[in-house]
């Protein structure tokens, strides 16, 4: 999609322009004029001759050349006709501000489909409906009702909420944060966040894409686009809905732990998108990446004229995974040469209250030239002895030719407003508090890693080996089965190479006995019933049973379960050789409606839900990603690196099993949830053993 | 300590007043005049006749009545003489702004002691040295160099960093946050944060105490004072230094997990102090509690004119432990009566972009009167259709007679500045973003709980029973022992009623055998060596050894350890009956330099350090506090409430053991660290069993 007709149109027709002040259709014309849009403006209104001095036309088909963009702000039922007229006039871009479409229910959704069909027919692209339009501070284009057009800059801001977008633009204006474009996506009937992200990648005005997301329209397409764009143009996303409690009851740990928010986090991580956790963090990060190159490592030098903020900064850096190492000898000597003998040349470097602009400049120059640091944070607290504007200019001079970033934190408000504004002009990112600075620097470093090691599209796994067992699962689903227990799954999993401990389904005592004579014990004896999903909850599992006691266990177990689950159909027991020593982990899968199969790895045992020691990835993913999942959990790090009194585990086999679960999920869409719990991870070279499995089948349409 | 001479003095002498603009001694006189201080101002300067129109005196002893306060801003070596002169003149309060005392080393510390001695001699109280003085916006008193005096208000702000204090006052000025007083405590040679907190409790101008703390001077005294004050006057503390890595190597899990930051958190919690995690949160919380009564529960109704911010707010509320329940039928009906038929009367209630001031007022009135909610959050995003000042006034009208709090979030900047200012005037707490509002509301609710259930001073435990074993530990310490292993500790712990599994120290194979014939097995066999602190790290523990194998284990274990610890003195083995089934936990103690003995409870096993599933309390503490420790950890909650496939544990016995560790620590200051790891918690009524113990002895002076 080309951006030009939306952001740099030559001629704008406003369908629904009004001569009455206070009406939205009047405000749009007024804003186009006030914001300084230089192209022709055509109010479309059958009853007016002119609006705000611009000749009005009764029908868009009568508008002369040039006209690239239509802004539509009329009641929803009239939109299709107006859109058709635009198409006939040869307009190829429309921003539909009207509400009353998919957001109001089924009828509106049908109307939305109608306008989409019309757009397709005439080869038009749409923004909206139900947004506030588009805005280009560079050209003065403002099709919104937002009065305060932001300063021109290089952050493109895409918002799924028009209102939030408006508030943020108002805020950005006050903070002197410049935007390249703003698009209010509304219902995104046609153009989505993904389209804009793709189009903005090559845009010369845009250095950073900041986006407010309520829901992504097509998960895999978004991930593919972001993977392409993010390494070149940073994408920062604020996604809400993070803590919404799941609506339906879930049958597996994976489903209860991995909701849609975890899917978004995983998708962002895998496609190089930086996730902001607040509106403030979104823009704090955006200016960090728009104004300066990112840091190439975590080592931050702090210069300050006050000890208190230095302590706050040191804390905040550490909390965000950054470091504040002491200066090395060369840097210390250079600081001494530049500043004279300060009491303590440590990091943070406190130049005391009276620190002058030349001192800030000198210290910043030394630190920017030092090999000991990857970034500089300069903190200023106002007092009668200093000059915030002078310090801003001094920092800009120091940063001008540096090969690493400099960030500023000017604390206070009234005394440093002008200094902050000057920093924005100099393109030095400036923050209210050290905490904000630390978060933004950490995000900038995250992006540096995305830039250095762009996320690769993973090789799709070979799904052919799974086709036979898919047919079998389809057959079971056809019988109306809602879930599959281990006795259903084991034969299938064995066929596709899952490492199972030797087992048998013993429908008779004799089968159980025969099995135990073939394998050394001890054994796990588990109830065999298509009606019981959580066996251990009702005492349906006996562990460490010696061979000679398996016959007794066969009867005891069924009697015990019978007391607690009177109606369950009991078919006998499943006998399985106990796995050798190792660490219990869990591997699971849940199908996310936006992104598709999401695989979970986590520590096992009863603590799994309570501790949330889990990590997620959207399938497919690389072996490297599978190993990163281990690194993101305590249980996984113990397997990777060992721990007091414990040896590492066979992480090669474990990563392979995690990816096998991903392949299974991709091959068999009938699986809604799937879980191996526990899996025993043995010592390196000894592999892993699956000792329980269950699956939930998808509801059939 | 009385506040009057510092904050409402009748007459101020400025020792070190200067006639030269730009000097600090000039700035103080200028600020006193500019801020509108009405009492007499006496510049003390031997060379000037008058400064800024005020008659100067060569010596403070010549100053006429009235003079309550001396501000001292001369080089440090001259301060003792000046202070003595103040004492002779009958001045009983001095704010010492000069630096060059304890903050610069030993010589300065001696000088600081000298001025403290002089103050004691003349019955004077001191603020500082090395601060920026005091400030009272109500009376115009401003002894600082801070130019912008904040609006008068009811938040007292105490800062250990003068510079940070200055920046925050500047910020507060810009945000229209009013202060009752500001005191810059500097080195706090005499008056500390604790003195001010005690004195401010009865102050009619102060509703909230906000404090920036770098370190507390006397932990137990602070806790006692805060316990008294916090239930009446909220205390909010920002404490830095949270992530500083411990400097010395530590010998126990407790010491590695429980540093000084955990001690501060525990002390704050036990004394009712609300801990803020950022400067923004400090003041966001302060206005919430200064302007409005706190919520009495977690249920928040959100009204908004935009969906995006509503989604952000719902997230933020949930993340902060608050709830946003749907309106009940009565509230829904009342909303319908007040607003007409909105599409969806759900929470958050979106009144759409054009929501008018009367609509905000009507909705707020209904929700403030509803029994379904404990607090209301009104969000406004600016657009051309609304009037932020009008909405501010409307909200104030609705809140005027309500018996619950109303908070506002006006998003944006330039368009809502005036509206925000109006909200401050109306004493409606207003926030930039929903996240800030949610954090502040959650903190206000926390304070409500402090107010409803004030933290009680715990009964000090009876230490007499510990005196005999203290003597024994002193004897061991006298032998130069650095730590005590389980064989040292067990006899002592048995004497004071710790529940140990039966054990013997077997210096010979025969002793080991004799022991096993008296108790049913199996047994734990552990190496007995005064040189080995972490037995399991070098294979020095064998578990589940049957009675008939204990003799073999006696030799095998010593041989195995010998291979890995060649120089360790091996004395035999310790044989202990394996405890019955239960859950492993850890109980530990570390002596904090500020607050004294700090007790830790946490989940046991190899995960303890990795998961940080631990809770801390400063000793002594109540049985209720011990149970709260359980509630703050995953392991403890499982013991309290059970978990899938697990029964609860004997939490009565566990809480008693946690408090017994606290009593031991209070009774025996020679113990620097102490740890029971693991303790096995059995089912209710079955008690707990200690199966390992170690202690580190304090370094002797």
Contact criterion met (CB < 8 Å) for B315 and A280: no
**Burial (0-12, 13-18, 19+ Cβ within 10 Å), A64:** exposed
As a whole number of angstroms, the distance between CA B278 and CA A433 comes to 8
A9 HSE (CA, 13 A, CB side): 28
Residues 6+ apart with CB under 8 A from B333: none
As a whole number of angstroms, the distance between CA A386 and CA B113 comes to 32
* Torsion sign, CA atoms A186, A192, A195, A200: positive
- Distance, in angstroms, between A60 CA and closest chain B CA? 26
Contact criterion met (CB < 8 Å) for B417 and A306: no
**Burial (0-12, 13-18, 19+ Cβ within 10 Å), A454:** middle
Residue A583: closest C-alpha in chain B? B606
CB A163 within 8 A of CB B381: yes
Q: Which of A169, A212, A643 sits opposite B610 (nearest CB)?
A: A643
Phi-psi region of B349 (alpha: psi -120 to 50; beta: other; left: phi over 0): beta
Single pTM value for the model: 0.85
- What order do you get walking across the sheet with A523-528 strand by strand? A503-506, A572-577, A523-528, A541-545
Contact criterion met (CB < 8 Å) for A148 and B383: no
Q: Which of A173, A240, A306 sits opposite B315 (nearest CB)?
A: A240
Compute the count of residue pairs across chains A and B with CB atoms less than 8 Å apart.
Answer: 240
Q: DSSP states of B287-344 as a string?
A: HHHHHSPPPSSSBEEEEES-HHHHHHHHHHHHHTT-B-PPP-HHHHHHHHHHH---S-
Contact criterion met (CB < 8 Å) for A606 and B161: no
Strand partners for A406: A376
Contact criterion met (CB < 8 Å) for B168 and A241: no
CB B239 within 8 A of CB B264: yes
Strands (DSSP E) contained in B507-650 are 523-528, 541-545, 572-577, 583-592, 596-603, 614-618
B640 three-state secondary structure: helix
CA dihedral angle for residue B615, residue B618, residue B624, residue B626, rounded to 10 degrees: 40
B566 HSE (CA, 13 A, CB side): 0
As a whole number of angstroms, the distance between CA A566 and CA A502 comes to 30
Contact criterion met (CB < 8 Å) for B606 and A416: no
As a whole number of angstroms, the distance between CA B681 and CA B653 comes to 8
Q: Record the tokens describing residue A621, joined without a space.
A: 């993913």
Q: What pLDDT is attached to residue B499? A: 96
Contact criterion met (CB < 8 Å) for A637 and B610: yes
**Burial (0-12, 13-18, 19+ Cβ within 10 Å), A369:** middle
As a whole number of angstroms, the distance between CA B37 and CA B9 comes to 10
Q: Which of A306, A606, A646 sits opposite B163 (nearest CB)?
A: A306
3-state secondary structure labels for all residues of B57-119: ECCHHHCCCCCCEEEECCCHHHHHHHHHHHHHHCCCEEEECCCCCHHHCHHHHHHHHHHHHHH
Q: Which of B305, B414, B645 sits opposite A163 (nearest CB)?
A: B305
Q: What are phi and psi of B292, to 5 degrees?
A: -135, 160
Q: DSSP states of A425-477 as a string?
A: HTT--EESSHHHHHHHHHHHHHHHHHHHSPPPPPPPP--GGGHHHHHHHHHHH
- Distance, in angstroms, between B433 CA and closest chain A CA? 7
Chain B residue numbers with beta carbons less than 8 Å from the beta carbon of A160 are 308
Chain A residue numbers with beta carbons less than 8 Å from the beta carbon of B643 are 606, 610
Q: Record the tokens describing residue B482, joined without a space.
A: 């650095």
Tens of pLDDT, residues B339-385: 887 667 889 888 877 788 999 999 999 999 999 999 999 999 887 77
CB A137 within 8 A of CB A153: yes
As a whole number of angstroms, the distance between CA B48 and CA B45 comes to 6
Chain B residue numbers with beta carbons less than 8 Å from the beta carbon of A146 are 383-384
Kindly report each contact of residues A397-400 with a partner whose C-beta sits within 8 Å and lies 24 or more positions away, as own/partner: A397/A361, A398/A360, A398/A361, A398/A364, A398/A365, A398/A368, A399/A292, A399/A364, A399/A368, A399/A426, A399/A428
- Distance, in angstroms, between A472 CA and closest chain B CA? 32
Q: Which of A174, A315, A613 sits opposite B240 (nearest CB)?
A: A315
Residues 6+ apart with CB under 8 A from B364: B303, B376, B378, B394, B395, B398, B399, B406
Residues 6+ apart with CB under 8 A from B63: B11, B13, B42, B44, B57, B89
Residue B100: closest C-alpha in chain A? A343
- Distance, in angstroms, between B653 CA and closest chain A CA? 23
Q: What pLDDT is attached to residue A608? A: 64
CB A326 within 8 A of CB B245: no
Q: Which of A696, A687, A674, A697 is nearest to A500 (CA)?
A: A687
Chain A residue numbers with beta carbons less than 8 Å from the beta carbon of B24 are 384
- Distance, in angstroms, between A163 CA and closest chain B CA? 5
Contact criterion met (CB < 8 Å) for B161 and A305: no
Q: Record the tokens describing residue B194, joined without a space.
A: 């604790």
Q: What pLDDT is attached to residue B78? A: 96
Domains, in order of start, for chain B: 293-452 (3.40.50.261), 459-501+580-701 (3.30.470.20), 502-578 (3.30.1490.20)
For residue A574, the 8-state DSSP code is E
As a whole number of angstroms, the distance between CA B145 and CA B136 comes to 14
Q: Which of A104, A167, A536 sits opposite B645 (nearest CB)?
A: A536
- Distance, in angstroms, between A229 CA and closest chain B CA? 26
Name the stretches of chain A with pLDDT < 70: 241-258, 342-343, 606-610, 644-645, 700-701
As a whole number of angstroms, the distance between CA B513 and CA B50 comes to 96
As a whole number of angstroms, the distance between CA A61 and CA A81 comes to 12
Name the stretches of chain B with pLDDT < 70: 241-258, 342-343, 606-610, 644-645, 700-701
**Burial (0-12, 13-18, 19+ Cβ within 10 Å), B340:** exposed
Tens of pLDDT, residues A164-207: 888 888 888 888 889 999 999 999 999 999 999 999 998 999 99
B124 three-state secondary structure: coil
Contact criterion met (CB < 8 Å) for B173 and A413: yes
B558 three-state secondary structure: helix
Q: Is the ipTM of this complex over 0.85?
A: no
Pinpoint the alpha helices (H) of B372-522.
388-399, 417-425, 434-452, 467-478, 486-495, 509-518
CA distances from B660 to A159, B240, B620 (A): 58, 32, 10
Contact criterion met (CB < 8 Å) for B644 and A244: no
As a whole number of angstroms, the distance between CA B617 and CA B634 comes to 17
Contact criterion met (CB < 8 Å) for B166 and A314: no
Q: Record the tokens describing residue B47, joined without a space.
A: 């060379």
**Burial (0-12, 13-18, 19+ Cβ within 10 Å), A75:** exposed
Q: DSSP states of A512-563 as a string?
A: HHHHHHHS-S-EEEEEE-TT-S-GGGGT-EEEEE-GGGHHHHHHHHHHHHHH
Residue B313: closest C-alpha in chain A? A240
Contact criterion met (CB < 8 Å) for A243 and B315: yes
Residue B27: closest C-alpha in chain A? A384
Contact criterion met (CB < 8 Å) for B412 and A161: no
Q: What pLDDT is attached to residue B608? A: 64
B164 three-state secondary structure: helix
B514 three-state secondary structure: helix
């Amino acid at each position: 999609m080309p951006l030009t007709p939306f952001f740099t149109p030559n001629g704008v027709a406003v369908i629904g322009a009004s001569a009455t002040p206070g009406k939205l259709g009047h405000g749009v014309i007024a804003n186009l004029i006030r914001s300084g849009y230089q192209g022709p403006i055509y109010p479309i209104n059958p009853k007016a001759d002119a609006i705000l001095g611009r000749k009005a036309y009764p029908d868009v088909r009568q508008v002369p050349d040039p006209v690239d963009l239509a802004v539509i702000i009329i009641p929803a039922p009239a939109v299709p006709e107006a859109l058709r007229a635009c198409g006939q006039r040869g307009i190829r871009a429309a921003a539909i501000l009207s509400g009353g479409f998919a957001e109001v229910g089924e009828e509106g959704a049908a109307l939305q489909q109608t306008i989409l069909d019309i757009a397709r027919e005439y080869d038009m692209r749409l923004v909206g409906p139900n947004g506030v339009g588009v805005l280009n501070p560079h050209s003065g284009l403002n099709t919104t009702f937002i009065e305060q057009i932001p300063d021109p800059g290089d952050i493109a801001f895409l918002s799924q909420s028009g209102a939030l977008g408006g508030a943020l633009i108002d805020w950005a204006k006050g903070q002197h944060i410049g935007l390249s474009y703003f698009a209010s996506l509304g219902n995104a009937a046609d153009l989505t966040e993904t389209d804009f992200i793709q189009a903005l990648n090559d845009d010369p005005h845009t250095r950073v894409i900041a986006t407010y997301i309520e829901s992504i329209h097509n998960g895999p397409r978004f991930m593919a686009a972001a993977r392409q764009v993010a390494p070149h143009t940073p994408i920062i996303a604020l996604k809400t809905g993070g803590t919404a409690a799941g609506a339906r009851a879930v049958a597996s740990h994976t489903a209860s732990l991995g909701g849609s928010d975890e899917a978004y986090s995983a998708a962002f991580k895998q496609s190089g998108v930086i996730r902001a956790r607040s509106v403030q963090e979104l823009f704090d990060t955006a200016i960090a990446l728009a104004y300066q190159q990112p840091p190439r490592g975590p080592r931050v030098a702090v210069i300050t004229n006050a000890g208190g903020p230095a302590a706050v900064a040191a804390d905040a850096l550490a909390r965000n995974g950054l470091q504040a190492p002491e200066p090395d000898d060369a840097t210390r000597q250079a600081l001494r040469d530049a500043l004279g003998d300060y009491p303590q040349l440590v990091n943070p470097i406190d130049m005391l209250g009276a620190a002058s602009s030349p001192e800030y400049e000198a210290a910043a120059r030394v630190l920017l030239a030092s090999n000991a640091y990857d970034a500089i944070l300069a903190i200023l607290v106002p007092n009668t002895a200093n000059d915030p504007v002078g310090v801003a200019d001094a920092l800009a001079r120091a940063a001008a030719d540096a090969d690493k970033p400099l960030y500023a934190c000017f604390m206070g408000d009234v005394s440093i407003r002008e200094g902050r504004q000057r920093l924005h002009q100099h393109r030095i990112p400036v923050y209210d508090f050290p905490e904000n600075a630390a978060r933004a620097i950490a995000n900038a470093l995250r992006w540096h890693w995305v830039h250095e090691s762009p996320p690769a599209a993973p090789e799709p796994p070979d799904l052919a080996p799974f086709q036979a067992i898919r047919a079998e699962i389809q057959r079971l689903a056809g019988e109306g089965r809602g879930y599959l227990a281990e006795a259903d799954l084991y034969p299938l999993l064995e066929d596709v190479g899952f490492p199972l401990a030797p087992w048998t389904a013993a429908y008779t005592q004799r089968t159980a006995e025969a099995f135990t004579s073939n394998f050394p014990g001890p054994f796990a004896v588990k109830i065999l019933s298509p009606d019981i999903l959580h066996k251990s909850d009702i005492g349906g599992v006996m562990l460490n049973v010696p061979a000679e006691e398996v016959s007794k266990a066969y009867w005891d177990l069924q009697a015990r379960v019978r007391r607690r689950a009177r109606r369950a159909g009991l078919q006998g027991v499943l006998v399985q050789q106990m796995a050798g020593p190792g660490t219990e982990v869990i591997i699971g899968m849940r199908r996310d409606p936006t992104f598709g199969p999401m695989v979970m790895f986590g520590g096992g045992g009863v603590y799994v839900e309570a501790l949330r020691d889990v990590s997620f990835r959207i399938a497919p993913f690389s072996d490297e990603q599978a190993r990163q999942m281990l690194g993101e959990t305590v249980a996984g790090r113990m397997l990777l690196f060992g721990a007091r009194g414990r040896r590492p585990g066979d992480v090669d086999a474990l990563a392979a099993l995690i990816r096998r679960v991903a392949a299974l999920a991709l091959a068999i869409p009938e699986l809604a949830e799937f879980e191996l719990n526990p899996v025993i991870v043995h010592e390196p070279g000894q592999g892993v053993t699956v000792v329980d499995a269950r699956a939930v089948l998808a509801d059939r349409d």
